[in-house]
């Protein structure tokens, strides 16, 4: 696709030019001005002139002799010599010993050079800079008024290589919703005849990397219409009013090119709720831009063929005015892919590389639970890179498995040297997690355990695989998960009677879960079904904010501690009861460094070691 955009230069670039010119002016012009109009002659000429009695005034200095001819029209200078009789001879020649006026530069020149020229330079530079500034701000060429506030929306000129819905794997509900838009763009008559009108704006909502941009491009690709793409943050400009004017310009361009798709990425950058009290600290520019966007959306007639798609991962922060009917009234969720979706995405991206016949994408998709489309694309690419490193052109299953670990846990840290004791502790810690998980019902089976350090800082980890997508968790299942998190530390306690810093991440995860059980899932009898916390950004890490009194907060903290403690004790008891298995498995892991889920289960069931 062709993309048109003006490159921007930083302001510092223009300041540097001004500085350079001032420097050059000082270096070149100033010495020129101070140089007088004196002719340099040799001492012989000077003596000849004395002899010819062609000397007017003479001024003898330490480093030079200044003199004029008889008529006094030209000033000369020469180097002084050891000449004791010079004064006498000069006197005889009728010279007058007086100050020789060095002929000044013509007043007109001096005026032009010292006064007019700098002013001209500065005015010229000022003009140039302001024009450049306008171009930067407006993104277009032209005079001050015409260039200001031109939108820098990229215009993708449709080409045959356009993205199609088939390139977007999974996300069937979203595609279904958008297919209607494509149909409308192909065949608007059908809709107008029935008196139906297309929504003017459609909001794509979901976590980062789930394919929102891709879907918007696919709509344009399927409908074969121009695609305007701009990011919300590009509207927010240095000068107040510029963003609003960009919005105007974008809509003007879009109407000219209709039917077309306008895609505004990260609309929350301008569409955030407007502050209720206008006081200090309000962002006028952003609000003006938002107001302009609202006005433009109201302004254009329905069925003009301009469809606005916007993407955000913070829908709760959007201004209600933006989402009311007549504006972005359709909301299309673009969620993280489920198991089938992940498998489909992996397969779409795997088409770009050569994979071995026996690669089982279903297993890979199961291992990559929770990964977004962008992460899955990354996993495929990492696997291809690993194959190249190994001197192969075909990607095998091991490459894919390793690349999932790379994306999840970082690269293997080849040169990290763990002491023997540390390696033992890590082995017990990881087996602790796996054993506690395996001894409890409803825990996901272990896929792989490794004690090879990773660049992310993890010294080892246990990879569990979700058997399917589970949407509901029972109280017992969450408690088991907490117990599994505490299993690592519990194993250290059971085996060494000592604890290490290795459990910091486990502690964080266990606390998070325990807290959510009490404050959000209503799984505590005392608080019953009362919401004590609200989720702020469900698509961005899910930060929560407390919604209760300080006394209740204290109570919550106490209950969280109780809950985690109970699960920790349960885990320790489980490990103590199975001490022989713990030792056996930890020893096996210590020797092999990486063991598979099957090997683990085999030893656990008391079978022969593979």
Q: Does 510 bind ligand ADP (CB under 6 A)?
A: no
Q: How far apart are CA 43 and CA 501, in angstroms?
A: 91
The footprint of ligand ADP on residues 19-48 (CB under 6 A) is: none
Report which of 313, 411, 406, 412 is spatially closest to residue 368, judged by C-alpha positions: 406
Q: Does 153 bind ligand ADP (CB under 6 A)?
A: no
Q: Does 214 bind ligand ADP (CB under 6 A)?
A: yes
Pairing of strands 461-464, 154-156: unpaired
Residue from 100, 137, 168, 307 touching ligand ADP (CB under 6 A): that is 168
* Nearer to ligand ADP among residue 204 and residue 517 (C-beta): 204
Using DSSP's 3-state secondary structure scheme, residue 533 falls into: strand
* Nearer to ligand ADP among residue 213 and residue 288 (C-beta): 213
Residues 55 and 90: beta-carbon distance below 8 Å: yes
Q: Where are the beta strands (DSSP E) in 325-424?
A: 328-333
End-to-end CA distance of the chain: 55
Residue from 57, 58, 90, 169 touching ligand ADP (CB under 6 A): that is 169
The pattern of x and - marking residues 292 through 311 that bind ligand ADP according to CB under 6 A reads -------------------x
Q: How far apart are CA 380 and CA 371, in angstroms?
A: 12
Least Å distance, CB 308 to ligand ADP, is 16
The footprint of ligand ADP on residues 328-357 (CB under 6 A) is: 345, 348
Least Å distance, CB 398 to ligand ADP, is 23
430 among known catalytic residues:
yes
Residue from 56, 147, 209, 315 touching ligand ADP (CB under 6 A): that is 209
Q: Does 177 bind ligand ADP (CB under 6 A)?
A: no
Least Å distance, CB 411 to ligand ADP, is 21
Residues 78 and 105: beta-carbon distance below 8 Å: no
Q: Does 170 bind ligand ADP (CB under 6 A)?
A: yes
Number of Cα atoms under 13 Å in the Cβ half of residue 577: 9
* Nearer to ligand ADP among residue 266 and residue 493 (C-beta): 266
Q: Does 139 bind ligand ADP (CB under 6 A)?
A: no
* Nearer to ligand ADP among residue 212 and residue 481 (C-beta): 212
* Nearer to ligand ADP among residue 321 and residue 374 (C-beta): 374
What is the edge-to-edge ordering of all strands in the sheet holding 55-60? 39-40, 75-78, 65-69, 55-60, 96-97
Between the CA atoms of 506, 507, 511 and 512, what dihedral angle is there, to the nearest 10 degrees?
-40
Q: What one-character-per-residue DSSP string does 258-318 give?
A: -SEEEEEESTHHHHBPPPSS--TT--HHHHHHHHHHHHHHHHSPTTSSEEEEEEES-GGGB
* Nearer to ligand ADP among residue 214 and residue 563 (C-beta): 214
Spell out the long-range contacts of 65-74 with Cβ–Cβ below 8 A and sequence spacing 24 or more: 66/38, 66/100, 66/102, 67/95, 67/100, 68/100, 74/39
Q: How far apart are CA 470 and CA 294, in angstroms?
A: 40
Q: How far apart are CA 451 and CA 429, in angstroms?
A: 10
Radius of gyration, CA atoms only, the chain: 40
Q: Cα–Cα distances in Å, from 417 out to 102, 422, 423? A: 83, 10, 9
What b/e sequence results for 299-320 when a residue is b if at least 16 CB atoms lie within 10 Å of its CB, and e otherwise?
Answer: ebeebebbbbbbbbbbbeebbe
* Nearer to ligand ADP among residue 351 and residue 579 (C-beta): 351
The span of 195-203, 204-212, 289-297, 432-440 binding ligand ADP (CB under 6 A) equals 204-212
The span of 42-50, 53-61, 202-210, 472-480 binding ligand ADP (CB under 6 A) equals 202-210
* Nearer to ligand ADP among residue 229 and residue 440 (C-beta): 229
Q: Where are the beta strands (DSSP E) in 92-168?
A: 96-97, 154-156
* Nearer to ligand ADP among residue 242 and residue 345 (C-beta): 345
∠ CA 13-15-21, nearest 5°, is: 105
Q: Does 210 bind ligand ADP (CB under 6 A)?
A: yes
Least Å distance, CB 371 to ligand ADP, is 10
Q: Does 315 bind ligand ADP (CB under 6 A)?
A: no
Q: Does 171 bind ligand ADP (CB under 6 A)?
A: yes
The pattern of x and - marking residues 356 through 375 that bind ligand ADP according to CB under 6 A reads -----------------xx-
Q: Does 208 bind ligand ADP (CB under 6 A)?
A: yes
| Count of residues in contact with ligand ADP, rule CB under 6 A | 17
Q: Does 453 bind ligand ADP (CB under 6 A)?
A: no
Least Å distance, CB 166 to ligand ADP, is 10
Residue from 149, 211, 305, 460 touching ligand ADP (CB under 6 A): that is 211
Identified catalytic residue from 296, 401, 430, 479 = 430
List, by residue number, the catalytic residues.
430
Task: Using CB under 6 A, list all residues that contact ligand ADP.
Answer: 168-171, 208-214, 311, 345, 348, 373-374, 377
């Amino acid at each position: 696709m062709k993309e048109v955009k003006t490159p921007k230069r930083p302001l510092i670039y223009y300041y540097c030019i001004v500085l350079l010119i001032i420097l050059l002016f000082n270096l070149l012009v100033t010495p020129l001005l101070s140089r007088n109009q004196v002719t340099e002659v040799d001492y012989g000429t000077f003596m000849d002139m004395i002899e010819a009695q062609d000397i007017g005034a003479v001024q003898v200095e330490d480093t030079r002799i200044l003199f004029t001819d008889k008529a006094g029209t030209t000033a000369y200078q020469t180097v002084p010599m050891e000449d004791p009789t010079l004064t006498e001879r000069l006197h005889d020649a009728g010279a007058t010993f007086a100050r020789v006026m060095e002929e000044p530069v013509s007043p007109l020149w001096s005026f032009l050079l010292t006064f007019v020229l700098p002013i001209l330079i500065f005015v010229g530079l000022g003009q140039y800079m302001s024009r450049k500034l306008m171009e930067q701000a407006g993104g277009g060429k032209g005079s001050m008024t015409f260039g200001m506030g031109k939108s820098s929306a990229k215009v993708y000129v449709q080409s045959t290589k356009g993205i199609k819905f088939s390139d977007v794997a999974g996300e069937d509900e979203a595609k279904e919703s958008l297919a209607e838009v494509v149909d409308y763009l192909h065949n608007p008559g059908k809709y107008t005849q029935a008196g139906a009108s297309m929504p003017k704006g459609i909001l794509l909502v979901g976590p980062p990397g789930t394919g929102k941009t891709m879907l918007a491009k696919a709509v344009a690709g399927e409908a074969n219409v121009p695609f305007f793409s701009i990011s919300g943050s590009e509207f927010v400009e240095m000068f107040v009013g510029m963003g609003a004017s960009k919005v105007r310009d974008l809509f003007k361009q879009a109407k000219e090119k209709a039917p077309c798709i306008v895609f505004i990425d990260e609309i929350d950058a301008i569409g955030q709720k407007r502050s209720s009290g206008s006081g200090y600290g309000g962002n006028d520019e952003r609000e003006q831009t938002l107001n302009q966007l609202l006005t433009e959306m109201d302004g254009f007639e329905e069925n003009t063929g301009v469809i606005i798609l916007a993407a955000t991962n913070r829908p709760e922060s959007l201004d209600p005015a933006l989402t009311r009917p007549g504006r972005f009234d359709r909301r299309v969720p673009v969620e993280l892919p489920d198991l089938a979706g992940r498998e489909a995405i992996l397969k779409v991206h795997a088409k770009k590389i050569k994979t071995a016949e026996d690669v089982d994408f279903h297993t890979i998709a199961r291992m990559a639970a929770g990964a977004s489309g962008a992460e899955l694309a990354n996993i495929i690419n990492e696997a291809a890179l690993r194959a190249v490193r190994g001197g192969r052109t075909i990607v095998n299953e091991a490459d894919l498995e390793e690349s999932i670990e790379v994306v999840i846990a970082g690269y293997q840290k080849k040169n990290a040297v763990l002491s023997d004791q540390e390696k033992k502790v890590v082995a017990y810690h990881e087996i602790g997690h796996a054993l506690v998980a395996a001894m409890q019902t409803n825990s996901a089976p272990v896929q792989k355990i490794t004690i090879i350090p990773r660049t992310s800082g993890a010294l080892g980890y246990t990879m569990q695989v979700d058997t399917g997508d589970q949407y509901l968790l029972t109280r017992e299942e969450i408690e088991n998960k907490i117990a599994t998190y505490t299993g690592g530390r519990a194993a250290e306690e059971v085996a060494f009677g000592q604890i290490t810093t290795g459990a910091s991440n486990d502690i964080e995860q266990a606390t998070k879960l325990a807290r959510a059980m009490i404050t959000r899932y209503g799984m505590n009898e005392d608080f019953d079904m009362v919401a004590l916390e609200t989720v702020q950004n469900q698509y961005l890490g899910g930060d929560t904010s407390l919604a209760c009194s300080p006394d209740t907060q204290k109570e919550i903290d106490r209950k969280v501690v109780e809950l985690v403690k109970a699960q920790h004790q349960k885990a320790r008891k489980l490990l103590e009861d199975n001490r022989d298995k713990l030792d056996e498995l930890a020893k096996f892991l210590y020797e092999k460094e990486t063991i598979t889920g099957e090997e683990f289960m085999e030893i656990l069931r008391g079978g022969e070691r593979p």
